[in-house]
Structures are given as C-alpha cells and as structure tokens.
Amino acid sequence: MKRRDFLTSATSSILAANGLASIAGGPALAATEAAANRLKMPPLLDTRASGRLQLTAQSGSADFLGGGASKTAGFSQNFLGPTIILRNGPLAAEVRNTFGEAVTAHWHGLLVPGEHDGGPHLPIREGGQWTPDMQIEQDPATVWYHSHIHGRTAEQVNSGLAGVIHLTDGRDDQRGLPAEYGVDDLTIVLQDRRFDRSGRMVYSPSMMDLMHGFLGNRMLVNGQAGAIAVVPKGIVRLRLLNGSNARIYNLFFEDSRPMHLIATDVGFLPEPVALQDLSLAPGERAEILVNFAEGAPTVLMSDPGQAFGVLPFISDDTLTPRITKLPAMLDGEQDVILGPEVRTRRLSLDMGMGGMMMGGGGFAINGRSFEMGRIDFEVALGSVERWIVRSTMIAHPFHVHGVRFRVLKENGGSPRPENSGWKDTVLVTGEAEIVARFDQPAGPDTPFMCHCHILEHEDAGMMAQFTVT
C-alpha cells in the first residue's frame, strides 16, 4: 500500500489514537480543543542586549498527561529550558546547579573551544556553578544545549535537561523569513517519552532499550502532550529539534503539503528546498517553512513503521500573516572550500553483541569503548580532515563537537537534501563521508567528543574524544 492510500484509510484512527480526533472532525471542534491545548513556546531568554546568560539546572515535577506529577528536570524551570536568543559577540554565561547531582551545559552546535563546550570533562557539581566567558562567532542557526555527563546523559536529558538556542544576526527580515517568536517562528522540540499506566514518565531501559535506544510511547512537543499549534494564514517557520533519546523521525504532512527546508543543523541553505519527507535523527535540527495560507488544518506526522501524529496545526484568522511568500534565495553557502585535506580518518560505530553480553563493552568507536582518561586521537588546529564513518547493526546519528561539517557522500552517493548544508550531526545509515576544518582548540583536559547521539549508545561507550591543538 502506498503511503497516501494508507493515510486515507488510517488517518482517522491515528488521530483518534493520539487523542486528536477533533482535528479530523472539523475546524469548529478543533478551535475549542486548540484553546485548551494550544502549543506553548518555551519562555524566551534574550541575551542580545546584556551579553549575559544565566541558567540553573534544577529538579522539578510536571503532570504531562493529567494522571499525576512526574519527577522531571529543567534549566530554570520544571521541564526543559528557555529558548535562548544569542547574537555574535561576547557571552558571559553562568550555569548554576541545584539538580542534586553533577550536570554539564553542552552547547550543541556552538563553535567554541573545548574549555567552553560543556562536555563530560566540565561537570558542574551539585550546588556549584560554571562561568565560561565565551565568544560567539558563527552564522545564524538553531542550536541547542543539554547535559552531557558521561554515563548519565540519557537519563538527564530524558528528565528534561535540554533547551533550544536561536543564534540570530537580526537580518531575517531582509531574508524574508518569519521571525516573530511563537507566532510565525515556532520552536518545536520533538521528544517521545515513556509513560506508565498511571501516566507518570518513566526511565528504566531494558537490555533491548539499550540496543535500540530508549523509545517512548507518547509524543511531547515542547514538553506538552496532545498540543495543537495555532498559526497565521501565511508562511510559518518551524525550527525543529529532535530532542529524543533515540527516536528517528521521518516527518511529513498528512495532506502532503511540502516542507521548504531552509536551514540544517548549523546554518542556512543557499535556497529553500521543497521536501515531502524530512528525516530528523536525535540531535539534528532543521528549519522549514510551511504555507498555511489556505487555512486548512493538517497534521505533522512521522513514520517509519506505524505512522503517528506528531503535531496538528490549525490556522487562526485573527493572526495577521506577516510573510506570505517563500524567499527565493537565502544566504547559506553553496560550494564550500574548507582548504586542502591533510588527513583521512575512518571511524566505525561499533555495536558488538558478544561484548555487550559480557557486560556492556560492545558499544564502541573503532573497537574501543569510551574512557574519560584516554585521548583517542589528535587533530591539528586549523587543519581539514575527511572522516569516513561507518555504522554497524543499525543507523547511528554521529555528532562531532567543536566543528561544523559538510557531508560529502552518503553510502557512496550524493547526500540527501537534509544533509546538504552545514551539519554537526549526521544519521549514518551505512557509510558517510564528512569534511571539516578544525578551527576551535581543545586541549587534553577538555577534549572534544564525537559520538552516537542515541543517548543510550553514547552512555554505553559509543563515544571517542580528541584534542585540537
């Protein structure tokens, strides 16, 4: 059965299963439900005027499904953190920790030295604080932040220690892009979470969960279950973050309306690319433009496997559309010449069954499980390297700290559109070739990480560390 046929016959039941039947039932019903379940944006934390950023990692509680409170964590709130607006220039950050155990604040996608990266070597102890004086200098992008304690990342991120960063240069009006936060510029954090029968969020991975990564049984968007996005009848920008521990989304709209990809992980594309499907693996971001001018409700869905509703959209006549046509061009770079490649490295993302049965040693890179005290390789500062990355057993999303890279080849061919721009995380479905110039320094005390972003795999040892000197 083709997808469309499947959807035609199955959409109503899918929506019903997700508690979204009213959307299929018609806009009148939907409007009532939307008022109660309207998608909320994380609070804004605008650092542009002050150049200062203050966050507190804390424990909290949240009642996601109306069945009682779950224990959670967040940055400066109960679950997840604020959306931080950054501009280039100095940034004095201050991250406090009252969570109850050590955390870090890793800036996933910010191009900063190892000492500011917030990786596993920069723990903030309970009651302590971390005050990196950073310098931000990179193209606009949607990046994010999350805790990165080795062996604890999966549970801490699952509990909510993550948030989004909008790095902006204030020129989105000139680009013709929607930029009104929460109106036509929406932050969309996609997270599946597992809830028990009483409706409480649980994290207790079994051996099978470790193998495949921990999957949830409910979708949360910005920490909300059953949310409905309300948008103006115009062009709307969605800044999508896959903040899930392990789930890979293959996103599409129920009515097949195109998604116009404008930015990948770390920057804009040269022009919008119309897609029917968009793959988004853990750690990846994508910015898309979607046309809601005709006002018809629709649902953002995901497969593979069983298709399910991720987020329904309805339009609101009282919201004035600010942008009504797609920009023809953006200012992302097309052909990037990073410089002569000095070195090719091969990295194998290993999942050896035998080793795992023997006690968890099977998750590794190039046969070696991660060790905090071992530097795995050294990269020369300013050099350009080509890495050939292979996945074993299943597809692994591969993230490199401290650089933005380009994907040269996927499985011997041209990269998919999702991987055609600047990236810091790439889903390796077999073999991927990437190229990067290593412009940020990282010494042996605070090396950069490269790892699988299925967080259970990362914690189990599918991670390596390298210096850039």
Helices (H), 308-369: 353-357
Ramachandran angles phi, psi of 86, nearest 5° = -120, 155
Which window, 220-228, 273-281, 319-327, 446-454, contacts Cu ion (CB under 5 A)? 446-454
Going by C-beta distance under 8 Å and a sequence separation of 6 or more, which residues neighbour residue 460?
210, 356, 360, 362, 363, 369
Distance between CA 221 and CA 238 in Å, rounded? 12
Q: Which of residues 389-428 bind Cu ion (CB under 5 A)?
A: 396
Which window, 13-21, 28-36, 237-245, 448-456, contacts Cu ion (CB under 5 A)? 448-456
Question: What are the start-end ranges of the E strands in 265-373?
Answer: 267-275, 278-280, 285-291, 298-303, 308-315, 341-351, 363-365
| Closer residue to Cu ion in complex, CB, 238/427 | 427
For residue 211, the SS3 value is: helix
| Closer residue to Cu ion in complex, CB, 287/410 | 410
Distance between CA 363 and CA 461 in Å, rounded? 5
| Closer residue to Cu ion in complex, CB, 269/452 | 452
Interface with Cu ion, residue 457, by CB under 5 A: yes
Q: Which of residues 111-140 bind Cu ion (CB under 5 A)?
A: none
| Closer residue to Cu ion in complex, CB, 24/464 | 464
| Closer residue to Cu ion in complex, CB, 421/461 | 461
Interface with Cu ion, residue 247, by CB under 5 A: no
| Closer residue to Cu ion in complex, CB, 406/457 | 457
CB of 428 to Cu ion, least distance (A): 9
Going by C-beta distance under 8 Å and a sequence separation of 6 or more, which residues neighbour residue 110?
117, 134, 136, 138, 143, 165, 167
Interface with Cu ion, residue 464, by CB under 5 A: no
Instruction: Count the Cβ atoms, other than its own, within 10 Å of residue 276.
Output: 12
Which window, 37-45, 196-204, 223-231, 450-458, contacts Cu ion (CB under 5 A)? 450-458
Residue in the shown chain whose Cβ atom is closest to Cu ion: 452
Q: Binder to Cu ion among 161, 426, 428, 452 (CB under 5 A)?
A: 452
CB of 390 to Cu ion, least distance (A): 12
Residues in the chain, overall count: 469
| Closer residue to Cu ion in complex, CB, 55/454 | 454
CB of 250 to Cu ion, least distance (A): 17
Q: Which of residues 314-353 bind Cu ion (CB under 5 A)?
A: none
> What x/- string results for residues 12 through 51 when contact with Cu ion is judged by CB under 5 A?
----------------------------------------
* Element containing residue 208 per DSSP (H, E): helix 207-212
Which window, 2-10, 65-73, 188-196, 456-464, contacts Cu ion (CB under 5 A)? 456-464
CB of 213 to Cu ion, least distance (A): 7
Helices (H), 26-143: 27-37
In this structure, what token pair is assigned to residue 230?
A: 């309300």
| Closer residue to Cu ion in complex, CB, 224/425 | 425
| Closer residue to Cu ion in complex, CB, 146/457 | 457
Instruction: For the chain, state the CA radius of gyration.
Output: 21
Interface with Cu ion, residue 454, by CB under 5 A: yes
Residue 216 half-sphere exposure toward CB, CA atoms < 13 A: 28
CB of 461 closer than 8 Å to CB of 351? no
Residue 202 half-sphere exposure toward CB, CA atoms < 13 A: 12
CB of 434 to Cu ion, least distance (A): 16
What is the binding site for Cu ion (CB under 5 A)?
396, 452, 454, 457
